[in-house]
């Protein structure tokens, strides 16, 4: 009996000891992550060697995998210049939601990075938690900082713009002056001219247009829909169609009909297979091979072009024409589309200093030359050798940028409208049905 | 030993230890919830737990001692289970009654999220197609898996090759599989047959997902059936042959009844995994596809099943609380289905 009790006590004691061992490691994990060292916080985070609390390490969350190595170079340059370590963590891929999801996880775990990437619609999530950067020097050097009720919260990383991108060499050969493309009639004539000279110019389709919702819903549902919202209105002047949309998902029928007619015109001159089931890669390949004169993409497309072997073998000049579905539209949607926000944690001053340095010539050189960004800062005159850089700069300097309210619409609406574009491309809807369906979809979505 | 055998000192120390443990536990939890960053709260929590257990152990009665020791043995497992399953479940149910946006909770909304999800046509549609998908798949996957198993238990020559070939698709991850089949549907089949892609319309796209799912899962289910079929005693089959049973009779009267437990397992597996279908759905169509008129609306998630609907509500619509409510609903459906299924299968096994 006595022996049994001793045995029981011993085993229980062993169990308790094992538990203590497990418990010990758990608790040290918690305490280390709460002090800001995120070595155990996430699968995507590289291990950090020093805690951020001492002010010498800034954590930066990047959402663009394609510029990861360039940002490492930026971090090295900053380390050399100031001795402050910048730890770059890259997440994401094609799905833009990943960075924001990582942040939500980090927030719950108490391991928020000091500087992180954000898009216009994501600032709402972090209301009251971001640093107001309005007192910084770089703010006076740019028109593209993101401002909301919290103050100036977004450091602009780059500017982009989109309309109808074109192959300038093909248009020149066909005798079309792209500056005249400011009305649907001008486009109609141009498309017909190109259509008639297709063989001579080596085109398989006049426009590379992709509307498959699963593959290119982000293009149609966000960017093309954004043309409906803002095309033709100089940035900052008016947002009436967006205001209408925000008011319960209302659509201006006349403007949407004009827009639909223009999409219809594009559809008459595009590759049907590409339109209904093509991917971004196929769209890129078609344009890069010079087999399409136009593509329904924007300046980000330049990076895809320059990395395409077809384009490298036979480069051509590119430009961006306005999405002129009504007479006189001569603007493209453009501005800063990627921002860095600064989290109000215990590293604010170091983060502010880093952002200031990023806005200056040394850092901008890396952004412009290595990342291919168009700089949002006025004092930076260098342009990248991106095929669309010149187009973006010319619209920017001429003040012909329209708003990009499409990024401020209710989250997820693009998945719904993108489907309407796909059905339109498949021929399941005609112009009138497209207009009525898209307004029904928007209203239902805003009512949800 | 009787209770009276304990000295007053022993009793007092037992109470003291117990109280001390509980105080430590409560203090550690209170520190955590009040947002304290003190590094001591982790060790405090663990120490509190250990002291509490010691206190209970010393508690002056031996009535439950044995149960207690068992409890201490189980504790690490129960603790892990609580942390990884029970607590998140309770927390998740809690979130479904709020307006949580993934970052913070600003208010309590009661059953509003639950009411909203049943008002939206897209969610009702997702429920509907998920049930259709599950129904069709449970039948087809089991049927095909069983037929393949029959084939692979005969005496044809390259048996090992067939088994490996049928099982292989299961080893490829669903996302990769989805993209491979997307290419097949969009590029290969259209060129070969000159038809439009199956993924072109919602109803055919749903059929495509079913095909891929069967292709992925059939081999796995086959493997389980093979184990069942090889477990059927040879003497029973011989006895049937001597009694003059033909192949069909042997199959229906001997083999199928003998592998009833295997059928239970396979049905259960396909049922729950078909319900939770996500990766192939995401890769193949990402839930796109239109339905011209469902509940009086044009809806745009023609091929979006429940799991994917929950995911996209959270991630692309940035509506975490609503998504959480849907997830709770999903959990309830799965729990009910599983319980019914296990209950009814158990009954059948007994009667056989």
SS (H, E, C) A272-309: HHHHHHCCHHHHHHHHHCCCEEEECCECCHHHHHHCCH
pLDDT at position A257 is 95
pLDDT > 90? residue B146: yes
Among A419-428, B21-30, B49-58, name the one with the lowest average pLDDT: B49-58
Look at chain B and report how many structural domains it folds into: 2
- Residue A195 token pair: 């259509």
The mean per-residue pLDDT over the stretch A373-391 comes to 88
B300 with A31: Cβ contact below 8 A: no
Whether B171 and B144 share a structural domain: yes
Contact call for residues B252 and B294 (beta carbons, < 8 A)? no
Does B52 contact A at CB distance below 8 Å?
no
Q: Phi/psi of residue A82, each to 5°? A: -125, -15
Q: Which of residues 217-256 of B touch A (CB under 8 A)?
A: none
Does B317 contact A at CB distance below 8 Å?
yes
User: Å from A12 to nearest chain B CA?
Assistant: 7
Q: Supply the DSSP symbol for A109.
A: H
Q: What are the C-alpha distances in Å from B256 to residues A119, B150, B252, B345? A: 59, 11, 5, 14
Q: What are the C-alpha distances in Å from B277 to residues B97, B197, B269? A: 26, 22, 12
Burial of B231 (0-12, 13-18, 19+ CB in 10 A): exposed
Contact call for residues B251 and B175 (beta carbons, < 8 A)? no
Rounded to whole angstroms, the Cα distance separating A11 from B78 reads 18
- The range of the structural domain enclosing residue A384 comes to 54-160+336-389
A412 with B318: Cβ contact below 8 A: yes
Look-up: residue for tokens 């009661």?
B110
Provide the edge-to-edge strand list for the sheet that holds A164-167: A205-208, A292-295, A164-167, A318-321
pLDDT > 60? residue A270: yes
Whether A229 and A369 share a structural domain: no
Q: Which of residues 64-93 of B touch A (CB under 8 A)?
A: 69, 72-73, 75-76
Which chain A residue's Cα is nearest to B316?
Answer: A412
Whether B206 and B128 share a structural domain: yes
Among A399-408, B47-56, B299-308, name the one with the lowest average pLDDT: B47-56
Whether B100 and B121 share a structural domain: no
Rounded to whole angstroms, the Cα distance separating B52 from A151 reads 51
Work out the pLDDT band at B47, boundaries 50, 70, 90: confident
Round to the nearest angstrom and report the end-to-end CA distance of chain B.
51
Contact call for residues A293 and A207 (beta carbons, < 8 A)? yes
Burial of A33 (0-12, 13-18, 19+ CB in 10 A): middle
Whether A153 and A302 share a structural domain: no
Interface probe, candidates B298, B299, B304, B310, chain A, greatest A C-beta count within 10 A? B298
Query: Is A14 inside any structural domain?
Result: no
pLDDT per residue as tens digits for the range A133-145: 988 889 999 989 9
- The range of the structural domain enclosing residue B319 comes to 115-351
Q: CATH no. for residue A171?
A: 3.40.190.10
User: Å from A441 to nearest chain B CA?
Assistant: 7
Domain boundary among B55, B89, B111: B111
Whether A70 and A155 share a structural domain: yes
Which chain A residue's Cα is nearest to B68?
Answer: A12
A214 with B73: Cβ contact below 8 A: no
Mean pLDDT score across all residues of chain A: 85
Query: Is A12 inside any structural domain?
Result: no
A418 with B288: Cβ contact below 8 A: yes
Whether B344 and B216 share a structural domain: yes
Domain boundary among A349, A369, A389: A389
Does B267 contact A at CB distance below 8 Å?
no
DSSP H or E run through B250: none
pLDDT > 50? residue A148: yes
Count other Cβ atoms within 10 Å, centred on residue A7: 10
pLDDT at position B348 is 62
pLDDT at position B6 is 67
Contact call for residues A212 and A270 (beta carbons, < 8 A)? no
Whether A115 and A240 share a structural domain: no
- Residue A214 token pair: 């699963």
Among A3-17, B106-120, B227-241, name the one with the lowest average pLDDT: A3-17
pLDDT > 80? residue B57: no
Nearest to B270 by CA among B144, B128, B129, B150: B144
pLDDT > 50? residue A408: yes
Domain boundary among B88, B111, B134: B111
Whether B214 and B314 share a structural domain: yes
Interface probe, candidates A12, A103, A423, chain B, greatest B C-beta count within 10 A? A12
Whether A259 and A141 share a structural domain: no
Domain boundary among A361, A389, A417: A389
Residues in chain A with CB shorter than 8 Å from the CB of B316 are 97, 411-412, 415
Among A48-62, A246-260, A312-326, B300-314, name the one with the lowest average pLDDT: A48-62
Would strands A164-167 and B291-294 be described as parallel, antiparallel, or unpaired? unpaired
Does B324 contact A at CB distance below 8 Å?
no
Whether A288 and A412 share a structural domain: yes
Domain boundary among A371, A389, A407: A389
Residues in chain A with CB shorter than 8 Å from the CB of B285 are 214
Work out the pLDDT band at B16, boundaries 50, 70, 90: confident
Nearest to A34 by CA among A144, A120, A109, A119: A109
- Residue B59 token pair: 């508690």
Does B99 contact A at CB distance below 8 Å?
no
Work out the pLDDT band at A380, boundaries 50, 70, 90: confident
Residues in chain B with CB shorter than 8 Å from the CB of A440 are 297-298
For B277-306, b where at least 16 C-beta lie within 10 A, e where not — what string?
bbbbbbbbbbbbbbbeeeeebbbbbbbbbb
pLDDT > 70? residue A444: yes
Whether B196 and B258 share a structural domain: yes
- Residue B26 token pair: 């409560």
Which chain B residue's Cα is nearest to A274?
Answer: B186
B72 with A12: Cβ contact below 8 A: yes
Residues in chain A with CB shorter than 8 Å from the CB of B199 are 214, 277
pLDDT > 50? residue A392: yes
- Compare CB distances from B101 to A15, A125, A423 and report the shortest one's residue: A125
Rounded to whole angstroms, the Cα distance separating B46 from A285 reads 60
Contact call for residues B294 and B125 (beta carbons, < 8 A)? yes
Whether A374 and A263 share a structural domain: no
Whether B63 and B183 share a structural domain: no
Work out the pLDDT band at A50, boundaries 50, 70, 90: very low
Rounded to whole angstroms, the Cα distance separating A268 from A264 reads 6
Residues above pLDDT 70, as percent of chain A: 87
Residues in chain A with CB shorter than 8 Å from the CB of B75 are 15, 19
Whether B101 and B154 share a structural domain: no
- Residue A413 token pair: 């609406």
Rounded to whole angstroms, the Cα distance separating A335 from A374 reads 10
Which chain B residue's Cα is nearest to A10?
Answer: B69
Look-up: residue for tokens 């149960």?
B67
pLDDT > 80? residue B1: no
E strands, A209-343, are: 292-295, 318-321, 332-342
Domain boundary among B111, B135, B150: B111
pLDDT at position A38 is 36
A411 with B318: Cβ contact below 8 A: yes
Q: CATH no. for residue B134?
A: 1.10.3720.10
Q: What ipTM is given for this predicted complex?
A: 0.81
Rounded to whole angstroms, the Cα distance separating A89 from A352 reads 18
B289 with A419: Cβ contact below 8 A: yes
Whether B24 and B121 share a structural domain: no
User: Å from B187 to nearest chain A CA?
Assistant: 10
Query: Is A5 inside any structural domain?
Result: no
Whether A272 and A234 share a structural domain: yes
Residues in chain B with CB shorter than 8 Å from the CB of A2 are none
Work out the pLDDT band at A32, boundaries 50, 70, 90: very low
Query: Is A24 inside any structural domain?
Result: no
Query: Is A197 inside any structural domain?
Result: yes
Whether B343 and B219 share a structural domain: yes
Whether B100 and B128 share a structural domain: no
A422 with B315: Cβ contact below 8 A: no
Rounded to whole angstroms, the Cα distance separating A343 from B118 reads 37
Does B132 contact A at CB distance below 8 Å?
no
Look-up: residue for tokens 């169509």?
B285
- Cα angle A249, A255, A258; round to 5: 130
Residues in chain A with CB shorter than 8 Å from the CB of B57 are 12
pLDDT per residue as tens digits for the range A167-178: 999 999 999 999
User: Å from A408 to nearest chain B CA?
Assistant: 13
Nearest to A385 by CA among A274, A302, A310, A446: A302
A15 with B76: Cβ contact below 8 A: yes
Rounded to whole angstroms, the Cα distance separating A164 from A209 reads 10
Nearest to B205 by CA among A216, A276, A415: A276
- Compare CB distances from B42 to A11, A31, A422 and report the shortest one's residue: A31
- Residue B131 token pair: 């049930």
Q: How many residues does chain A have?
A: 448
Whether A118 and A86 share a structural domain: yes
Does B285 contact A at CB distance below 8 Å?
yes
Residues in chain B with CB shorter than 8 Å from the CB of A15 are 72-73, 75-76
Interface probe, candidates B103, B115, B178, B323, chain A, greatest A C-beta count within 10 A? B103
pLDDT at position A3 is 58
- Compare CB distances from B290 to A27, A104, A419 and report the shortest one's residue: A419
Rounded to whole angstroms, the Cα distance separating A421 from A217 reads 8
Q: What are the C-alpha distances in Å from A261 to residues A180, A326, A416, A420, B285? A: 19, 10, 20, 14, 28
pLDDT per residue as tens digits for the range B97-141: 999 888 888 889 989 999 999 988 999 999 999 999 999 999 999
Rounded to whole angstroms, the Cα distance separating B8 from A88 reads 63
Coil, strand or helix: which one is A204? coil
CB pairs under 8 A between A and B: 117
Whether A273 and A367 share a structural domain: no
- Residue B249 token pair: 């009779």
Whether B102 and B122 share a structural domain: no
Which chain A residue's Cα is nearest to B288?
Answer: A214
Helical residues (DSSP H) of chain B, grouped into ranges: 8-33, 41-58, 65-81, 87-95, 112-119, 121-151, 159-171, 174-183, 190-193, 202-230, 234-242, 247-249, 256-258, 260-275, 279-284, 306-315, 320-351
Look at chain A and report how many structural domains it folds into: 2
Among A257-261, A377-381, B57-61, B243-247, name the one with the lowest average pLDDT: B57-61
Whether A310 and A170 share a structural domain: yes
Q: Please, which residues have CB within 8 angstroms of residue B162's CB and are 6 or more apart in sequence?
A: B151, B152, B156
Would strands A292-295 and A164-167 be described as parallel, antiparallel, or unpaired? antiparallel
């Amino acid at each position: 009996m006595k022996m049994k009790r001793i045995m029981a006590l011993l085993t229980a004691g062993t169990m308790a000891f094992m538990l203590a061992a497990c418990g010990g490691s758990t608790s040290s994990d918690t305490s280390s992550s709460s002090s800001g060292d995120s070595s155990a916080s996430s699968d995507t985070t590289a291990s950090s060697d020093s805690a951020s609390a001492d002010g010498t390490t800034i954590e930066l969350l990047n959402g663009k995998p394609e510029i990861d190595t360039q940002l490492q170079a930026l971090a090295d340059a900053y380390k050399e210049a100031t001795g402050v370590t910048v730890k770059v963590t890259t997440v994401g891929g094609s799905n833009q939601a990943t960075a924001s999801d990582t942040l939500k996880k980090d927030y719950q775990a108490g391991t928020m990075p000091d500087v992180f990437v954000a898009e216009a619609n994501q600032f709402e999530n972090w209301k009251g938690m971001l640093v107001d950067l309005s007192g910084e020097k770089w703010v006076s050097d740019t028109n593209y900082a993101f401002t909301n009720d919290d103050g100036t919260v977004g450091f602009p990383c780059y500017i982009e713009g989109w309309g109808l991108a074109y192959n300038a060499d093909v248009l020149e050969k066909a005798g079309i002056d792209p500056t005249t493309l400011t009305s649907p009639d001008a486009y109609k004539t141009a498309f017909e001219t190109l259509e008639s000279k297709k063989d001579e110019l080596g085109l398989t389709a006049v426009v590379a247009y992709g509307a498959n919702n699963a593959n290119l819903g982000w293009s149609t549902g966000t960017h093309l829909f954004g043309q409906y919202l803002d095309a033709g209105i100089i940035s900052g002047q008016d947002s009436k169609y967006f205001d209408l949309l925000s008011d319960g998902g209302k659509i201006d029928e006349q403007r949407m009909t004009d827009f639909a007619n223009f999409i219809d015109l594009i559809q008459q001159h595009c590759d049907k297979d590409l339109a209904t089931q093509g991917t971004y890669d196929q769209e890129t390949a078609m344009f890069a091979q010079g087999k399409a004169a136009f593509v329904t993409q924007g300046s980000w497309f330049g990076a895809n072009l320059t990395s395409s072997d077809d384009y490298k073998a036979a480069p051509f000049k590119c430009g961006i024409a306005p999405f002129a579905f009504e007479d006189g539209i001569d603007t493209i949607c453009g501005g800063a589309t990627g921002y860095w926000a600064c989290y109000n944690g215990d590293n604010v001053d170091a983060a502010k200093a880093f952002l200031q340095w990023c806005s200056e010539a040394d850092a901008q050189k890396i952004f412009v030359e290595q990342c291919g960004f168009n700089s949002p800062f006025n004092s930076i005159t260098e342009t990248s050798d991106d095929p669309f850089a010149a187009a973006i700069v010319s619209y920017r300097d001429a003040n012909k940028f329209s708003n990009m309210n499409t990024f401020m619409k209710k989250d997820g609406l693009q998945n719904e409208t993108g489907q309407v574009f796909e059905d339109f491309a498949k021929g399941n809807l005609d112009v009138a049905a497209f207009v009525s369906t898209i307004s029904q979809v928007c209203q239902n979505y805003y009512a949800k | 030993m009787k209770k009276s055998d304990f000295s007053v000192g022993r009793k007092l120390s037992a109470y003291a230890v117990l109280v001390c443990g509980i105080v430590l536990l409560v203090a550690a939890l209170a520190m955590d919830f009040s947002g304290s960053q003190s590094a001591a709260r982790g060790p405090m929590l663990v120490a509190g737990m250990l002291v509490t257990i010691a206190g209970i152990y010393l508690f002056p009665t031996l009535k439950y001692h044995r149960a207690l020791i068992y409890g201490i043995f189980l504790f690490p497992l129960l603790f892990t289970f609580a942390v990884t399953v029970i607590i998140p479940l309770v927390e998740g149910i809690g979130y479904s009654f709020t307006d949580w946006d993934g970052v913070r909770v600003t208010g309590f909304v009661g059953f509003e999220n639950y009411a909203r999800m049943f008002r939206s046509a897209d969610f009702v549609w997702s429920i509907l197609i998920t049930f259709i998908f599950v129904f069709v798949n449970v039948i087809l996957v089991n049927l095909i898996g069983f037929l393949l198993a029959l084939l692979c238990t005969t005496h044809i020559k390259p048996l090992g090759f067939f088994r490996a070939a049928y099982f292989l698709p299961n080893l490829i991850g669903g996302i990769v599989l989805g993209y491979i089949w997307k290419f097949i549907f969009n590029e290969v089949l259209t060129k070969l047959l000159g038809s439009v892609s199956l993924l072109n319309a919602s109803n055919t796209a749903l059929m495509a997902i079913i095909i891929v799912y069967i292709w992925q899962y059939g081999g796995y289910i086959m493997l389980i059936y093979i184990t069942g079929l090889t477990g059927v005693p040879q003497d029973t089959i011989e006895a049937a042959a001597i009694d003059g049973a033909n192949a069909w009779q042997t199959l229906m009267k001997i083999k199928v009844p003998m592998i009833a437990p295997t059928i239970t397992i396979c049905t259960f597996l396909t049922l729950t995994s078909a319900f939770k279908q996500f990766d192939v759905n995401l890769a193949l169509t990402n839930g796109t596809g239109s339905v011209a008129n469902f509940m009086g609306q044009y809806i745009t998630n023609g091929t979006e099943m429940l799991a994917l609907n929950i995911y996209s509500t959270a991630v692309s619509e940035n509506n975490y609380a609503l998504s959480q409510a849907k997830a709770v609903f999903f959990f309830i459906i799965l729990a009910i289905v599983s319980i019914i299924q296990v209950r009814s299968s158990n009954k059948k096994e007994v009667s056989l």
